[in-house]
Copies of this chain bind each other. A is one copy, B any other.
């Protein structure tokens, strides 16, 4: 695995480049990005060894696609067109149905492995890339049976070596479940941030009163809208469903409050408290 092409060199692409380079010191990491300034930044941060373009993919052994999911859908067929028959292409997108669909009939479908490494921070861009981001985290792998066996092995070793635990799932289940544990959390945080910012406009200095609890709950509202808008677009029906359930639960809680039903308020919280045990498995 000599020539690795990172298409997208931000938080995910950059962090993958760091860990993979560490395990494969002889590999050359080529960076590809729409913006030359991003590539220059990635170069100066030593995330990549060289700048490249899509036409260079003819030399690829491995291509890692970590760009917004709408760009992935658009670009993936072209990437497969350009790579040699022996190359492996993986993506790291937060949605899987549309991405898998985009290449389902591509003659080089067997060179592609659809993945979603569940790791990240609220930051973005090359400066957000950090070593060890994926260690101990889950990598959701979709439609593994559609990838050539040799390339499956290659991918599993590559991502196993950086500390990831594989979990296999079909794209529809992935998109449905991830809506609950990731996409909804982001909307919840963004709208909490909005509600408080709107209030702050009229009532100054509210944020002086905010503590670490607020900071934690609203943290994801720092996330990149460029990344998240296409995720919500591609996973619209699932996200709408989770939002409806969330709004229903919030409305019920509000009604309990208005009705002075504090026994129900207590029970609602108590029955959610065992999230403690659930979260012990997550860091």
Q: Residues on A close to B: CB < 8 A?
A: 118-122, 137-138, 140, 167, 174, 176-178, 180-182, 184-199, 203, 206-223, 225-226, 228-230, 232-233, 236, 239-240, 242-247, 249-251, 253-254, 257-258, 260, 262, 265-266, 268-276, 278-279, 281-283
Contact = CB atoms under 8 A, between A and B. Distances in A.
Contacts of A239: 257
Contacts of A218: 185, 275, 279
A283 B219 CA distance: 11
A182 B118 CA distance: 28
A217 B195 contact: no
A192 B220 CA distance: 14
Question: Which one of A137, A178, A223, A246 has the highest number of Cβ atoms from chain B below 10 Å of its Cβ?
Answer: A246
A225 B270 contact: yes
A206 B192 contact: no
B283 A215 contact: yes
B279 A222 contact: yes
Nearest to A229: B266
Complex A-B, nearest 6 residue pairs according to Cβ-Cβ distance, in ascending order: A225-B269, A181-B210, A185-B217, A118-B211, A193-B275, A193-B272
Contacts of A262: 229-230, 232-233
Given A167-B209, A209-B182, A215 B279 contact: yes
A249 B254 CA distance: 15
A253 B187 contact: yes
A46 to B, nearest CB: 25
Nearest to A206: B177
B213 A216 contact: no
A262 B236 CA distance: 10
A207 B195 CA distance: 28
B257 A232 contact: yes
Nearest to A269: B225
B211 A282 contact: yes
Contacts of A209: 118, 138, 140, 167, 174, 177-178, 181-182
16 contacts: A119-B211, A122-B213, A180-B199, A184-B196, A185-B192, A193-B275, A195-B246, A210-B282, A212-B282, A217-B217, A218-B275, A221-B272, A222-B279, A233-B260, A240-B257, A243-B250
